Amino acid sequence: MKAHQADRFATIMLWIGALAIVAILIAFLTLILGRGVPHLTSEFFNGPDGVRGQLFNSFYILFLSLVLSLPVGLGAGIYMAEYAPKNKFTDLIRLSTESLASVPSIVFGLFGMIVFVNMFGLGFTILGGSATLALLNLPILVRVTEESLRAVPRSYREASLALGATMWQTLRKVILPTALPGLITGITLVAGRALGETAILIFTAGMNVSRIPFDVNPLAAGETLAVHLFAVKSNPLPGTNADQIADGTAALLIIMVIVFNICLTLPSRWLQRRQLGKNKM
């Protein structure tokens, strides 16, 4: 009877854990959205202190950092999972990636400032910010890619190779599609971090917004929403209602991240279903 009781106890504890997560999320969302959403007016975006520029910069920097980091991160991850022989050198690469993944982001920010802002003499730029963000995200991308690919059963590889497929065909047509959900999770994770990153961008992309709307010049300074939130709260400009702007910005950030995740997840589910055939089981 003891095993039975232990089982019930464990079930209850796990339920409580799961419920706690949901409860925290709901509390968090109601507070932030409740305070912020009422401020999300047209004035909030387009007014003299509007955040239209910051909103644009957030996505622009996210986009550029993904353009810079995805090819390298996916490539390295694929290499590590599929092609790399197992030896001391690849162990070293793996150790390096793991160490890089745990470097505090502000240290990356400092590095970016030294390299892009000072050594290259770019000053505060969207390009420098994106490149530094890409560096922050690279190790995570490599690890997530490697792990998602390793999770694909060996038997799929064998089946494909035994049919006379090359390694590249196997990768493209069997392994990557099967690993897609894992890869999407990784990209979502990285993108979420990029949208919310502050420390790095203060040092590299600066706290100014171009006066031209939707300025795509990568050499302009580009304050993002998250940096804006920090700037407004830590150093409120006289004559503005900093608290309201901060609340609105926080809500907007959350909504952005949620919408972005949905935009990535839904198409990937749809793709998977189409690939798998009509009914899943």
Partner 1 sequence: MDKIVVNKLDLFYGDQQALNNIGIAMKERSVTALIGPSGCGKSTFLRTLNRMQDLIPSVKIMGQVKIDGQDIYVAGTDVVLLRKKVGMVFQNPNPFPKSVFENVAYGPRIHGESDKKKLSEIVETSLKDAALWNEVKDRLHESALGLSGGQQQRLCIARLLAVGPEILLMDEPTSALDPISTMKIEELISELKDKYTIIIVTHNMHQASRVSDRTAFFLSGDLIEEDVTSVLFTRPAKKKTEDYISGRFG
Footprint on this chain of partner 1 (rule: CB under 8 A): 85-86, 153, 155-156, 158-166, 169, 173-174, 178, 275-281
- CA torsion sign, 254 to 29 to 258 to 12? positive
What distance in Å separates the CA atoms of residue 55 and residue 13, rounded to the nearest whole number? 41
Least spacing, CB of residue 160 vs partner 1, in Å? 7
List Cα–Cα distances, 204 to 15, 17, 179, in angstroms: 44, 39, 34
Helices (H), 151-241: 154-162, 167-170, 176-196, 199-204, 225-234
Cβ proximity to partner 1, 34 vs 267, nearer residue: 267
User: Nearest approach, Cβ of 81 to partner 1 (angstroms)?
Assistant: 15
108: left (phi over 0), alpha (psi -120 to 50) or beta: alpha
Closer by beta carbon to partner 1, 22 or else 281: 281
Q: Based on CB atoms, which residue is closest to partner 1, 178 or 224?
A: 178
Q: How far is the CB of 98 from partner 1 (least distance, A)?
A: 23
Residue 151 burial (CB count, 10 A): 12
CB 174, min distance to partner 1, A: 6
Q: How far is the CB of 277 from partner 1 (least distance, A)?
A: 3
Distance of closest approach, residue 82 Cβ to partner 1, in angstroms: 11
Between 48 and 277, whose beta carbon lies closer to partner 1? 277
Q: Which is nearer to partner 1, 37 or 180 (CB)?
A: 180
Q: Which is nearer to partner 1, 169 or 268 (CB)?
A: 169
| CB of 159 or CB of 216, closer to partner 1 | 159
Question: What is the rounded distance in angstroms from the CA atom of residue 161 to the CA atom of residue 190?
Answer: 32
CB of 195 to partner 1, least distance (A): 32
If you search the block for the tokens 């793991």, which residue do you land on? 98
Own/partner pairs, 212-217, CB within 8 angstroms, 24+ separation: 213/52, 213/53, 213/56, 214/56, 215/53, 215/56, 216/60, 217/126
Nearest to 221 by CA among 132, 111, 136, 123: 123
What angle is formed at CA 206 by the lines to CA 32 and CA 58, rounded to 5 degrees?
45
